[in-house]
Chain A
Amino acid sequence: MKQIPCPHCGNRAQAEFVYERSADSVVPLDAEPAVAIAALFSRANLRGTEEELWRHAHGCGMWLLIRRDRVSHHIEWVKPIGPEALP
């Protein structure tokens, strides 16, 4: 099972994490309907590297931004996000 380096907890087993959505599907609250609909229903879904939102659900509970190759599962980086990530 893959390990994911949580910026808050260190290397943890993938089973502790939950994939939530691709980063390009985050719809800003003030998005025009066409933009919101496109973001939700017509995503790029690349065969390759994309940014994704994950959550360390069975660990610290924090949201993470992960850049991951969807073919090899190689993780390029993991960043903390949300208010808790602010300096």
Chain B
Amino acid sequence: MNAPLINFTFDGRALTAKPGQTLAAALLDQGIRLVGRSFKYHRPRGILSAGIEEPNALVTVGSGGREEPNTRATDLYVYEGLNARSQNRWPSLSSDVGGVLSLVSKALPAGFYYKTFFGPPKLWLFYEQFIRRAAGLGPAPTKADPDHYAQRAAFCDVLVVGSGPAGLIAARDAVRAGKKVFLVEQDAELAPSLLRDPAEIEGKPGRTWAGEIATAVRTSGGRVLTRTSASGLWDDQFVCLSEKLIEPGQIPANGFSQRYWHVRAGEVVLATGAIERPLTFANNDLPGVMLSQAVRTYVTRFGVLPGKRVVVATTNDDGYLTARALMAAGAEVVVLDSRPAPAGHSSGVEVHNLAAPVMARGGKRGVKALVATVDGAERSFACDLVAMSGGFTPVVHLHMQAGGKLDWDQAAQAFVPGETRQNVRTVGLAAEPQPAETVGAAGNPKAAFVDFQNDVTVSDLDLAWREGYRSVEHLKRYTTLGMATDQGKTGNMAALDRIARREGITIPEAGLTTFRPPFTPVSMGALAGLATGEHAQPTRHPALYDLHAARNPIWLNAGYWKRPRAYPQGAETLAQAGLREARTVRTAVGMCDVSTLAKFEVQGPDAVQFLERVCQTTVGKLALGRGRYTFMAREDGLVFDDGTVWRLGDQRYLLTSSTGGASRMATWLSYVRGHLCADLKVSVTCVQEHYAAIAVAGPKSAQVMAALTRSEAPRHMSVVESTIAGAPVLLMAASFSGERAFEVHFDASQAEAVWQAIEAEVLATGGTLYGIEAMELLRIEKGHLVVGPDIDGRLTAEELGLGRMVNKAGGWIGQSCLSRPDFADKQRKQLIGLEAIDGKAIPEGSMLVRFVGAEAEGHVTASGLRVLEGGSIALAHLKGGQARHGEEIYAHSPTRRQTVKVRVTSPHFYDPAGERYRD
């Protein structure tokens, strides 16, 4: 007891704690009983328990990004500088204004929220402001958490949850059988029950015995994790553990505050113990009314005597252990036992049998007396502490998460683990709880709380029952029973008992609500791990990334890819830079990184048969060294992607498709290859990142290519092998901009040399680099489609205006379904162009209507402008649109409050005859 005291503050008051004390223990030690206000009624609340089940004593700790609300004072070890604040009180804990609610608790009866939701909306809006201020837990922090959360995956043979004697024996047996064991304890100390009830085990002091087993676990390759909660158990013994490396609100020494474990175990042993149940009587929520085992924990483990005159109200033998511990510590004790004499062990303590608490008296300073019926007669017992025990509820949460069933233990009045379909077993008090009498309230007590955290009383349950709520799941949602941070760990059984009594059925007939993870709250940060900020998702850099970065582009996150959106010069905005780049392409030449395109090499004697199934256009007649635009349909006949196909060799083709659809296309090709034409002799290889690619477009592009390759540029839709800067390249003449254009594909490892050679030639020819912004302007004006907005998987080739390119011979995937009668409907949406009549920009995504207020008949998929002449244009999907060219309608965006009058046109705004890109 000579260890230095620890300094901390509670609501600004400087206090000290003994080493190893929880905040709850330290507060009780200082005589502080009032630690919070209740959720709805703002009733004064103290400390009920000594563990993770605590419903009342929730505090906010830490500051700034480390602020953590709803921290259980019973599950928080005091550290130097701890700054804890009580919650849900204003202006202060002892003079809380909301406390008047406890006098008018009729204001928020069961189902209050539902009733006002279904009432007149104005009433709800009125109540909402009032409720938001009055009801609630601690406010969520608003600053970013500066700490890190580690994540680890691990395997073990046996995972033991709980380090009480039963868990330790299971761990020891597993170690002896040569198993790798993980032993998990949510407390800071191993075997916390032996700190509460010291005992000799196998001839050794319990703590020594426990320490030896922990050492054996560690030395045999296992792990002992204290301050670690097994928060969830999923299929095939997959367990998530959340390990506190520091206490909530504390500043971590090494930057990491928690570690989140994913453990796959061969077997899970649940030694999770049982949670003591409160008794239900009027004002059972007063500060100073505590659980019996919790009182014993404070006395024996933490050296704190929470009261001097104590009434122990019990339905079982365990209460007598508390009585004895209290007496040994110098308290005056009376035991009220619900059972007839000679139940219990009355070694020198005053015992009243057939005794049931009726009402506690007292105020915010705590309980002053307990009124009870003793053998039928009402008596009042003056006291400053009530230690109550309504029996024990086994912690079956993980067993239930694992898909287990429950059995009813009549002697213990409790559900115990039954059948399980996983390799999970439960041992100790969680499997065999101590016998106890029934738990429920007698009569119709007022302000007798069942769920302390949600302020649910016996009368609330009765009201819900009278209103017809019978199913436990409905009751839970209607009364908010068993919700919030404690999930009804102390209250659910008393509630079930009440419902069963009203219904005239047994508790097992009343049933239980679903047990969902997490067992105790888990920090969001622990779940996120290091996947936060820029690491929230992967980033993909194209091969040319560094070259772009050196030229300071405006970046675009295209899926996971980082792509240049534009290369602004001077003070140019994105729009200005994009337009300048696009105009340079129209008038001279530009170059653009198109490396992210999906690319597949299709090879083999049956390569062409394979492509004729995947592609909806003719591929079979493609001559060596020639390419073609193509598009692909799903089995349902709708187009989902497009690209080009090039014949590189006799039996060798290159298929390109959209960047965004790349992984979907890879899956699709392997599906077609493996399931629809497994008999074909063909291999399909994804070469997306093997090749980098640069597009060179503009009227001077052929001149640039000729200079670079020292040979005549290939004809439109031809491909030749060539060399640039010493690197072998595939030179394809294809245009996405409407200008004469080329795509240069080359081994990604040659990225730098090829880029620099092309860039030098492009710039020398008066050209520019261009990004996605310019590419979009160019392709929209030309009426080229993009997978995603334009080709959205909902239109057929015909509806996209691609009908004349479809392979009339058939044989492609999707053909069968095109005979569905729905596709004959000419009022389905079709791709069209739009022209703004007054020149205003057409909002992308806006709906197309005949007049504002009319039903939407389509939407704008891509919005752009005429690159050289100006004037707003767009691509859109419109019902029956192909027959509506010339019609004037409106592009209407209610969210942006924009309405633009537009004319329906062909989607080809620029060089519709395609004269500019032909050689």
Bound-state Cα–Cα, A14 to B236, Å? 10
Nearest Cβ on chain B to A78's Cβ, whole angstroms: 14
Contact B238 A33 (CB under 8 A): no
Bound-state Cα–Cα, A75 to B291, Å? 46
Contact B676 A36 (CB under 8 A): no
Bound-state Cα–Cα, A87 to B667, Å? 23
Contact B675 A53 (CB under 8 A): yes
Contact A82 B236 (CB under 8 A): no
Contact A83 B675 (CB under 8 A): no
Contact of B238 among A1, A31, A36, A61 (CB under 8 A): A1
* Tier of interface size on chain B: 20 to 34
Q: Kindly list chain B residues whose C-beta atoms are within 8 Å of the C-beta of A2.
A: 234-236, 238
Contact of A37 among B234, B675, B678, B820 (CB under 8 A): B820
**Knowing A1-B234, A3-B236, A73-B235 touch, does A27 contact B816 (C-beta < 8 A)?**
yes
Q: Kindly list chain B residues whose C-beta atoms are within 8 Å of the C-beta of A40.
A: 635-636, 817
Contact of B674 among A33, A36, A81 (CB under 8 A): A81
A44 adjacent to chain B (CB < 8 Å): no
Contact of B667 among A14, A37, A55, A84 (CB under 8 A): A55
Q: Kindly list chain A residues whose C-beta atoms are within 8 Å of the C-beta of B813.
A: 29
B671 adjacent to chain A (CB < 8 Å): yes
What is the 8 Å Cβ interface bit string for chain B, positions 781-813, against chain A (1 contact, 0 not)? 000000000000000000000000000000101
Contact B234 A82 (CB under 8 A): no
Interface CB pairs A-B, < 8 A, 13: A13-B238, A13-B264, A28-B676, A32-B816, A36-B635, A61-B670, A63-B674, A63-B675, A72-B421, A81-B675, A82-B670, A82-B678, A84-B674
Q: Kindly list chain A residues whose C-beta atoms are within 8 Å of the C-beta of B674.
A: 63, 81-84
Nearest Cβ on chain A to B85's Cβ, whole angstroms: 38
Of residues 668 through 706 on chain B, the ones whose CB sits less than 8 Å from some CB of chain A are 670-671, 673-678
Contact B675 A82 (CB under 8 A): yes
What is the 8 Å Cβ interface bit string for chain B, positions 3-22, against chain A (1 contact, 0 not)? 00000000000000000000
B397 adjacent to chain A (CB < 8 Å): no
Nearest Cβ on chain B to A85's Cβ, whole angstroms: 9
B901 adjacent to chain A (CB < 8 Å): no
Residue on B with the closest CB to A23? B675
Q: Kindly list chain B residues whose C-beta atoms are within 8 Å of the C-beta of A35.
A: 816
Bound-state Cα–Cα, A61 to B663, Å? 12
A9 adjacent to chain B (CB < 8 Å): no
Contact A83 B673 (CB under 8 A): yes
A20 adjacent to chain B (CB < 8 Å): yes
Q: Kindly list chain A residues whose C-beta atoms are within 8 Å of the C-beta of B264.
A: 3, 13
Q: Which 5 A-B pairs have CB atoms at the shortest separation, nearest pair first? A: A82-B674, A36-B816, A2-B235, A33-B816, A33-B819
Q: Kindly list chain B residues whose C-beta atoms are within 8 Å of the C-beta of A57.
A: 667
Q: Kindly list chain A residues whose C-beta atoms are within 8 Å of the C-beta of B829.
A: none
Contact A37 B817 (CB under 8 A): yes
Nearest Cβ on chain B to A6's Cβ, whole angstroms: 14
Bound-state Cα–Cα, A1 to B678, Å? 33
Q: Kindly list chain B residues whose C-beta atoms are within 8 Å of the C-beta of A37.
A: 816-817, 820
Residue on A with the closest CB to B680? A83
Q: Kindly list chain A residues whose C-beta atoms are within 8 Å of the C-beta of B677.
A: 29
Q: Kindly list chain B residues whose C-beta atoms are within 8 Å of the C-beta of A31.
A: 816
* Tier of interface size on chain A: 20 to 34
B613 adjacent to chain A (CB < 8 Å): yes
What is the 8 Å Cβ interface bit string for chain B, positions 816-843, against chain A (1 contact, 0 not)? 1101100000000000000000000000
Contact B236 A20 (CB under 8 A): no
Residue on A with the closest CB to B678? A83
Bound-state Cα–Cα, A63 to B813, Å? 20
Bound-state Cα–Cα, A2 to B820, Å? 40
Nearest Cβ on chain B to A75's Cβ, whole angstroms: 10
Q: Which residues of B contact A (CB under 8 A)?
A: 234-236, 238, 264, 421, 613, 635-636, 667, 670-671, 673-678, 811, 813, 816-817, 819-820
Bound-state Cα–Cα, A36 to B234, Å? 38
Nearest Cβ on chain B to A49's Cβ, whole angstroms: 16
Of residues 44 through 68 on chain A, the ones whose CB sits less than 8 Å from some CB of chain B are 53, 55, 57, 61, 63
**Knowing A13-B238, A82-B678 touch, does A33 contact B671 (C-beta < 8 A)?**
no
Q: Kindly list chain A residues whose C-beta atoms are within 8 Å of the C-beta of B238.
A: 1-3, 13
Bound-state Cα–Cα, A63 to B675, Å? 9
Q: Which residues of A contact B (CB under 8 A)?
A: 1-3, 13-14, 20, 26-29, 31-33, 35-37, 40, 53, 55, 57, 61, 63, 72-73, 81-84
Known: A2-B234, A37-B816. 17 other contacts (CB 8 A): A1-B234, A3-B264, A14-B235, A26-B675, A26-B676, A27-B635, A27-B816, A28-B676, A31-B816, A32-B816, A33-B817, A36-B635, A55-B667, A61-B670, A81-B675, A82-B678, A84-B674
Residue on A with the closest CB to B682? A83
Bound-state Cα–Cα, A41 to B575, Å? 45
- Of the listed residues B636, B670, B671, B816, the one surrounded by the most CB atoms of chain A closer than 10 A to its CB is B816
Q: Kindly list chain B residues whose C-beta atoms are within 8 Å of the C-beta of A53.
A: 675
**Knowing A72-B421, A81-B674, A82-B674 touch, does A36 contact B235 (C-beta < 8 A)?**
no
Contact B235 A29 (CB under 8 A): no
Q: Kindly list chain A residues whose C-beta atoms are within 8 Å of the C-beta of B670.
A: 61, 63, 82
Nearest Cβ on chain B to A12's Cβ, whole angstroms: 10
Q: Kindly list chain B residues whose C-beta atoms are within 8 Å of the C-beta of A81.
A: 674-675
Nearest Cβ on chain B to A55's Cβ, whole angstroms: 7
Contact A29 B817 (CB under 8 A): no
Contact B613 A29 (CB under 8 A): yes
Nearest Cβ on chain A to B1's Cβ, whole angstroms: 48
Residue on A with the closest CB to B666? A61
Bound-state Cα–Cα, A84 to B675, Å? 11
Bound-state Cα–Cα, A73 to B667, Å? 24
Nearest Cβ on chain B to A7's Cβ, whole angstroms: 14
Nearest Cβ on chain B to A53's Cβ, whole angstroms: 7
Contact B816 A63 (CB under 8 A): no
Nearest Cβ on chain A to B772's Cβ, whole angstroms: 28
Residue on B with the closest CB to A20? B671
Contact of A82 among B667, B673, B811 (CB under 8 A): B673
Contact of B817 among A1, A3, A14, A36 (CB under 8 A): A36
Residue on B with the closest CB to A57? B667
- Of the listed residues B636, B671, B675, the one surrounded by the most CB atoms of chain A closer than 10 A to its CB is B675
Bound-state Cα–Cα, A85 to B72, Å? 56
Bound-state Cα–Cα, A87 to B671, Å? 19
Nearest Cβ on chain B to A68's Cβ, whole angstroms: 12
Q: Kindly list chain A residues whose C-beta atoms are within 8 Å of the C-beta of B236.
A: 1-3
Bound-state Cα–Cα, A14 to B676, Å? 26
Nearest Cβ on chain A to B87's Cβ, whole angstroms: 35
Q: Kindly list chain A residues whose C-beta atoms are within 8 Å of the C-beta of B678.
A: 82-83
Bound-state Cα–Cα, A52 to B678, Å? 18
Residue on A with the closest CB to B234? A1
Bound-state Cα–Cα, A86 to B832, Å? 48
Residue on A with the closest CB to B236? A3
Q: Kindly list chain A residues whose C-beta atoms are within 8 Å of the C-beta of B673.
A: 82-83
Q: Kindly list chain A residues whose C-beta atoms are within 8 Å of the C-beta of B819.
A: 33
Bound-state Cα–Cα, A67 to B214, Å? 43
Residue on B with the closest CB to A35? B816
Bound-state Cα–Cα, A63 to B819, Å? 30
Bound-state Cα–Cα, A31 to B811, Å? 11
Q: Kindly list chain B residues whose C-beta atoms are within 8 Å of the C-beta of A14.
A: 235
Nearest Cβ on chain B to A31's Cβ, whole angstroms: 6
Nearest Cβ on chain A to B239's Cβ, whole angstroms: 10
Q: Kindly list chain B residues whose C-beta atoms are within 8 Å of the C-beta of A27.
A: 635, 676, 816
Nearest Cβ on chain A to B633's Cβ, whole angstroms: 12
Nearest Cβ on chain B to A25's Cβ, whole angstroms: 9
Bound-state Cα–Cα, A25 to B809, Å? 25
Bound-state Cα–Cα, A2 to B236, Å? 5
Residue on B with the closest CB to A29? B676
Bound-state Cα–Cα, A43 to B670, Å? 23
Nearest Cβ on chain B to A66's Cβ, whole angstroms: 14
Q: Kindly list chain A residues whose C-beta atoms are within 8 Å of the C-beta of B676.
A: 26-29
Q: Kindly list chain B residues whose C-beta atoms are within 8 Å of the C-beta of A33.
A: 816-817, 819-820
Residue on B with the closest CB to A41? B636
Residue on B with the closest CB to A73? B235
Residue on B with the closest CB to A85? B674
Contact A63 B234 (CB under 8 A): no
